[in-house]
């Protein structure tokens, strides 16, 4: 598939490398300009572009930017797109964001207010990128690491399931977008290595 990535930091680059390795086409973008990503093209083999171009390029768009930047997203280009939200809320970086502090909204629900027609699936947020690049293993391997995802769109869930499998992880469906708080920052399942059985048990026992 064609994957457009908004954000070319740790997350954007890690997902780009793994997706290219799995045979997908990728365009990376950042907030400055494609010129600042010039060396990435020969180094990892991706396309580079503006964030509008990356969104238009992708059948699937990965959001890999700080939460503080969501109001700068190319809203029009994102209409009706399949979107993977890999973001987390860190107030010390993003500033205080109403709704997220009071735990009344998940980060993905807040993003869905900015891009209401996009089909958002929350994924890739609960693993450090160094581990995403190193901890994958073949399907069927004993104790394979599981990663959570959540969303309201079946097609979005299929896409994430495929990518998790290709990157070497056991997909675990947590439920709807409103349940994605169960693996947001600071929750027991956040950035802790677990197999599918342990992850399922941990998510089941996670209280708000």
Ligand X SMILES: NC(=O)c1ccc[n+]([C@@H]2O[C@H](COP(=O)([O-])OP(=O)(O)OC[C@H]3O[C@@H](n4cnc5c(N)ncnc54)[C@H](OP(=O)(O)O)[C@@H]3O)[C@@H](O)[C@H]2O)c1
Residues that bind ligand X (CB under 6 A): 6-12, 29-32, 51, 64-67, 69, 72, 86-88, 90, 125, 128-129
């107030």: which residue's tokens? 91
- CB of 39 or CB of 142, closer to ligand X: 39
- CB of 186 or CB of 197, closer to ligand X: 186
Q: How far is the CB of 11 from ligand X (least distance, A)?
A: 4
Provide the Cα torsion 204, 205, 206, 208; round to 10°: 110
Query: Rounded distance, CA 163 to CA 171, Å?
Result: 9
Query: Rounded distance, CA 104 to CA 184, Å?
Result: 13
Q: How far is the CB of 9 from ligand X (least distance, A)?
A: 2
- CB of 131 or CB of 197, closer to ligand X: 131
Closest CA to 37 of 51, 56, 52: 51
- CB of 29 or CB of 82, closer to ligand X: 29
| Three-state secondary structure call for residue 190 | coil
Q: How far is the CB of 78 from ligand X (least distance, A)?
A: 12
């Amino acid at each position: 598939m064609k994957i457009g990535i908004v954000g070319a930091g740790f997350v954007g680059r890690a997902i780009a490398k793994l997706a290219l390795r799995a045979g997908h086409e990728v365009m990376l973008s950042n907030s400055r300009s494609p010129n600042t990503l010039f060396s990435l093209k020969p180094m990892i083999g991706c396309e580079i572009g503006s964030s509008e171009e990356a969104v238009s390029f992708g059948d699937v768009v990965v959001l890999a930017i700080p939460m503080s930047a969501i109001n700068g997203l190319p809203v029009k280009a994102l209409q009706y797109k399949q979107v993977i939200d890999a973001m987390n809320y860190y107030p010390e970086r993003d500033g205080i964001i109403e709704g997220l502090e009071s735990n009344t909204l998940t980060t993905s629900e807040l993003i869905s207010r900015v891009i209401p027609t996009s089909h958002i699936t929350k994924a890739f947020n609960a693993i450090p990128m160094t581990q995403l690049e190193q901890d994958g293993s073949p399907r069927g391997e004993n104790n394979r690491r599981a990663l959570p995802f959540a969303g309201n769109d079946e097609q979005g869930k299929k896409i994430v399931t495929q990518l998790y499998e290709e990157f070497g992880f056991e997909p675990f469906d947590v439920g709807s977008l409103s349940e994605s708080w169960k693996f947001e920052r600071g929750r027991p399942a956040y950035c802790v290595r677990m197999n599918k059985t342990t992850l399922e048990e941990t998510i089941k026992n996670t209280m708000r």
